[in-house]
Structure 1
Amino acid sequence: MVPHTEDLPGLTMAGRLRTGQVRQLIRLIAEAQEIPANHPERQKHLISGLLRILGAVVGGSVVDCDFRPGGRGAFTAIVLEGWDSTTLPALEVLAQSGSAFNPGLRELMRVSPAHISATTTAMRQELIDDRLWYGSPYVEHHLGPAHLDHALYSTKRGATPSVVHGLGMYRAKNERPFDEEDRSLLHLFHLECESMLRAPTPMIEDVLRAQLPRRERQTLDLLLRGRTDKEIAECLGISRYTVNQYTKSIYRRFGVSSRPMLLARLLGRGSTGNLQRTLRDTLILGK
């Protein structure tokens, strides 16, 4: 078995979808489209409905800005459904330790999609065998005590290679594992509904900025204020060569190749006021 991507043979997944689930999914999407696009209830309705159709206990829609081979993982939740005082600690530890602390997600990070915007959907058992899964600290000390086990994941990559929109669903330990039909349904859901679940661009960029090391974050803030490399070097007390190295690293993080492209991405989005407030809060050079 291999994870689904839209480039794999059998994309239509004929014969791999349960008719009843498909009908429920069509109805769910139609209901969500009746809710205003900017209303948070639309996303909650989609995720809670998906949990019901898949028979999952908990699930969520997130954006992860460090989802790459060797990455730590750094997710920001968009919508979480079903989590309570018993299950939430299993999610909180991933927020603290990084998504890669979950061995299934760590393996999913290593999957190389055929193209940059590919959607990849996988059952846990396709990613990691039972011995490694149940022997991992995450499952033994966090997921198990939360009475969760069977997992189903889907990721869709964005323009920046390390940024993904992710969906994760879990069933209880005493329930049956997800199967190929469940996987196909989640894959179809992600392809059709990602635009309705997508995180706002400012959220993604704020997470990316927060992940930068302190000096690179300071360099970015000064770049956005229109400072030259010489001015940045003088302000931070570093060489122009070091500024150039920081700048190249920033370009890679945001998926751009020049200063104009960086400025267009971060300043040309109709939210300059919010960005300026963020800069005022973060530009503490001695921090």
Structure 2
Amino acid sequence: MAADSLRSSQVRVLVRLVNEAHELPEGQGERPRHLLSGMCRILGAEAGACVLECDFKPGGRGGFTAAVLEGWDGAARPALKALQSMGSACNPGIRSLMERPPVPGAVVTALRRELVGDRAWYGAPYVEHYLRPTQLDDSVYSLWWSEVPGVVRGIGLYRGRSECLFDEADRELLHLFHAECGALLGLPEPTEDALGVRLAPRERQTLELLLQGLGDKQIAARLGISRFTVNQYTKTLYRRFGVQSRTALIARLLGSQGRGTGSRARLPAS
């Protein structure tokens, strides 16, 4: 990112926004909502989303958890629901990011037109049938890659069809915001200390493959063990983390209260 492209006026407003957020109470969702709403205002976006995705890779299931939303009510709601039901890859810009090699611990930010050309964008069924009817169009995306395979924290902002395109300065401001203030958005990365669970080697291997979205049969083949044994390891993991399903297990890992944007996500130690 070329810092000299940042607009000083936007940076000053961003600093005020972050200071305001620190004055809000923790744990009630007010900070994330204030921050996302403020970023939409600063960058002239009509809609924005902060999401957590646990299978972000080519061929992944593409489901995500919407943590903070702005501007997706009313006519825009079907576009969000379609993205959730069809999977993130139906958006060609997001699919382009999925196809990039992951960079654990890094924040990657890109304009829509850097990811996909106009022809592919406007020819995509999701854009044509769901996004354009909302009058939303140009977009900019920012991803924080966890060291847990396939797990990302993402921010997407959208402008209206009649608005000018996002530019380099807009991209760099979003990148700065995500890199420095991402932990305030309520999606902290899992850390060993926060989880307080130590795993045996086979339990750890099973957990790593579960987080990659593999099923029992695939995990058994990968580890050279029976599906019954995989099922036993999975039940043990549920007990260790105090959950009753794979979805809850992932939420438990990703919901642990890691602090700071400089820390790296880690699975529990062996």
TM-score range (shorter-chain normalised) is: 0.7 to 0.9
The residue type equivalent to 1:67 in the other structure is F
**1:242: how far off?**
2.6
Map of 1:253 onto structure 2: none
Q: Which amino acid aligns with 2:124?
A: S
* Equivalent in 6, 10, 17 of residue 6 of structure 2: 17
The separation in 2 between residues aligned to 1:64 and 1:102, in whole angstroms, is 14
* Structure 2 counterpart of 1:124: 112
Q: In structure 1, how many angstroms separate the alpha carbons of the residues matched to 2:127 and 2:77?
A: 14
Which residue of 1 is the match for residue 95 of structure 2? 106
Deviation sequence 1:46-68 (CA, Å, 0-9, x none): 00000000000000110011111
Structure 1 residue 240 displacement after superposition:
5.9
1:98-126 Cα deviation digits (max 9, x unpaired)? 0001111001111224x311111000000
Per-residue deviation, 1:81:
0.8
Task: Give the aligned partner of residue 79 of structure 1.
Answer: 68
1:194 aligns with 182
Partner of 2:19: 30
Question: Are the aligned partners of 1:37 and 1:196 in contact in 2 as well (CA < 8 Å)?
Answer: no
SS at match of 1:44: helix
**Per-residue deviation at 1:15?**
1.4
Q: Distance in 1 between matches of 2:239 and 2:54?
A: 16
Q: Which has the higher contact order (CA 8 A, sep 6+)?
A: 2
Cα root mean square deviation, aligned = 3.4
3-state DSSP class of the match of 2:32? helix
Could you say which structure has the larger radius of gyration?
1
- Structure 1: runs of 5+ lacking an equivalent: 1-10, 220-238, 251-258, 283-287
Count residues with an aligned counterpart: 228
Secondary structure in 2 aligned to 1:178? coil
Trace 1:128-147 onto structure 2 (pairs within 5 A). 128-147=116-135
Deviation at 1:266, TM superposition (A): 7.7
Say if 2:152 is the partner of 1:182. Answer: no
Partner of 1:63: 52
Q: Tell me if the contact between 1:62 and 1:165 (Cα under 8 Å) persists in the aligned partners.
A: yes
Q: CA shift at 1:201, angstroms?
A: 6.7
What's 2:136 paired with? 148
4+ aligned runs moved over 3 Å, structure 1:
243-248, 265-268
- Aligned residue among 267, 271, 277 for 2:240: 267
- Distance verdict in 2 for CA 1:39–1:72, change over 3 Å: same
> For the structure 1 residues 247 and 267, does the alpha-carbon distance in structure 2 shift closer, same or farther, using more than 3 Å as the test?
closer
Structure 1 Cα separation of the partners of residues 178 and 56 of structure 2? 17
Counterparts of 1:147-226 in structure 2, within 5 Å, are: 147-199=135-187, 213=215
Please say if residues 149 and 172 of structure 1, whose CA atoms lie closer than 8 Å, have aligned partners that are also in contact.
yes
Q: Unmatched 5+ residue regions in structure 2?
A: 191-206, 250-270
1:46 is aligned to 2:35:
yes
Q: In the alignment, residue 131 of structure 1 is paired with which amino acid?
A: R
- Quick one: which amino acid aligns to residue 227 of structure 2? T
Q: Does 1:97 align with 2:70?
A: no
TM-score by length of 1: 0.70
- Asked whether the 8 Å contact 1:165–1:198 carries over to 2, the reply is no
Identity of aligned residues (%): 48
Shift of residue 83, structure 1, vs aligned partner: 1.5
Cα distance, 1:95 vs. partner? 0.6
Structure 1 pair 152–42 and aligned structure 2 pair: CA distance change class (3 A): same
Instruction: Answer with 137-146 or 63-72: which moved more.
Output: 63-72
Cα drift, residue 173 of structure 1: 0.6
